[in-house]
């Protein structure tokens, strides 16, 4: 069976002023439809580079990348990105931000009213109906990130790519949004690739955790299958032996096998 998103022998080399820098080498990653995959690793391991390659924001220097059987050439609305710093346009309302994405995907097929409905539905999915007409500067950081997720979901993408989506949020807001993301993924059966440096987040949300070795020339070190039943409850999992075993596995990988002295 062919994977939905497929990376084969992908390498990435940046040409810097001090000569070529090999960020990634021989990255192989097959992701199935509906799967939630986290990429974890120390900073500088190229985990965001992997995501940007799938997003099409970067072009791989070697190897092949496929999405739904087609080669990835440049960015496209079939792979929606949720950025770490929300990246909402400050001159558009929440609805306006989501609508910009909706128009791009459904503009030639649907009426304005239908698209507006889609935008509102996406905002409802992230529980932000009350903020439809607010501007980004009028809402909190957590709400902005939810609008970012709504914008991505509204495009009905083949894959949702999240680059440390909750990294800039406080712990309570982060936990809340993680729970929301789980229920959204359960409802929409989304295929998700999420970059994170948070071990608990990775174990709680993922079907598989891709652990990267340290850069330069980083690659996939190990892949951990998280076989915890869904829906998952963070409170119950706190004392769960299996959960703590997975957590321990990731921590061992990060701090024993690939320990990185503080940069």
Partner 1 sequence: MSTLNPTAERFKAIALGTVPPAIGLGLFILVWALVSASTPTIPTPGATFVSAVELFSDPFYNKGPNDMGIGWNILASLERVAIGFGLAALIGIPLGFIIGRFRFFNDMLAPIISLLRPVSPLAWLPIGLLVLQKAEPAAIWVIFISSIWPMIINTAVGVTRVPQDYMNVARVLNLSEWKIVTRILLPATLPYVMTGVRLAIGVAWLVIVAAEMLTGGIGIGFWIWDEWNNLDVAHIIIAIFVVGIIGLLLEVLLTQLAKRFDYDAR
Taking the complex as a whole, the smallest distance from the CB of residue 91 to partner 1 amounts, in Å, to 4
Does position 89 interact with partner 1 (CB under 8 A)? The reply is: yes
* Closer by beta carbon to partner 1, 42 or else 151: 151
Residues within window 123-152 making contact with partner 1, judged by CB under 8 A: 135, 137
CA 262 to chain centre: 26
Piece of the chain touching partner 1 by CB under 8 A; list 59-67, 99-107, 183-191, 243-251? 99-107
Does position 223 interact with partner 1 (CB under 8 A)? The reply is: no
Closest CA to 41 of 239, 196, 261: 196
Closest CA to 158 of 251, 56, 235: 56
Binding mask 37-66 for partner 1 (x = CB under 8 A): ------------------xxx---------
Cα(161)–Cα(83) distance, integer angstroms: 8
Which residue stretches of the chain are H helix? 47-55, 94-106, 112-125, 141-154, 171-188, 199-205, 234-237, 241-252
* Closer by beta carbon to partner 1, 43 or else 104: 104
* Closer by beta carbon to partner 1, 96 or else 221: 96
Give the count of beta carbons closer than 10 Å to the beta carbon of residue 207: 18
* Closer by beta carbon to partner 1, 101 or else 202: 101
Q: Residue holding tokens 């409170």?
A: 235
Give the count of beta carbons closer than 10 Å to the beta carbon of residue 137: 8
Piece of the chain touching partner 1 by CB under 8 A; list 89-97, 110-118, 184-192, 219-227? 89-97
Taking the complex as a whole, the smallest distance from the CB of residue 98 to partner 1 amounts, in Å, to 11
Give the residue, chosen from 63, 76, 167, 216, that forms a contact with partner 1 under the rule CB under 8 A.
76
Angle of helix 141-154 versus helix 94-106 axis, rounded to 10:
20
Does position 91 interact with partner 1 (CB under 8 A)? The reply is: yes
Cα(231)–Cα(34) distance, integer angstroms: 15
Kindly list the residues in this chain that would bind partner 1 in the complex (CB under 8 A).
55-57, 74-77, 79-81, 83, 85, 87, 89-92, 100-101, 104, 135, 137, 155
């Amino acid at each position: 069976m062919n994977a939905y998103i497929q990376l084969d022998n992908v390498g990435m080399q940046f040409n810097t002023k001090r000569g070529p820098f090999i960020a990634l080498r021989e990255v192989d990653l097959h992701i199935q439809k509906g799967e939630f995959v986290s990429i974890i690793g120390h900073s500088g391991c190229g985990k965001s580079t992997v995501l940007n390659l799938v997003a099409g924001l970067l072009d791989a220097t070697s190897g092949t990348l496929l999405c739904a059987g087609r080669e990835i050439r440049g960015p496209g609305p079939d792979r929606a990105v949720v950025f770490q710093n929300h990246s909402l346009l400050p001159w558009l309302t929440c609805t306006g931000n989501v609508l910009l994405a909706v128009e791009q995907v459904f503009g030639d097929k649907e009426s304005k009213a239908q698209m507006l409905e889609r935008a509102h539905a996406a905002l409802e999915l992230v529980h932000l109906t009350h903020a439809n007409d607010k501007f980004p500067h009028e809402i909190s950081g957590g709400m902005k990130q939810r609008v970012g997720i709504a914008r991505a979901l509204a495009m009905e993408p083949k894959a949702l790519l999240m680059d440390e989506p909750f990294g800039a949020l406080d712990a309570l807001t982060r936990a809340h949004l993680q729970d929301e993301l789980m229920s959204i993924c359960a409802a929409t059966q989304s295929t998700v690739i999420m970059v994170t440096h948070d071990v608990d987040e990775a174990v709680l949300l993922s079907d598989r955790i891709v652990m990267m070795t340290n850069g330069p020339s980083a690659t996939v070190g190990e892949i951990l299958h998280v076989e915890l039943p869904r829906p998952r409850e963070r409170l119950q999992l706190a004392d769960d032996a299996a959960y703590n075993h997975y957590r321990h596995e990731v921590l061992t990988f990060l701090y024993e096998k690939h320990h990185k002295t503080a940069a």
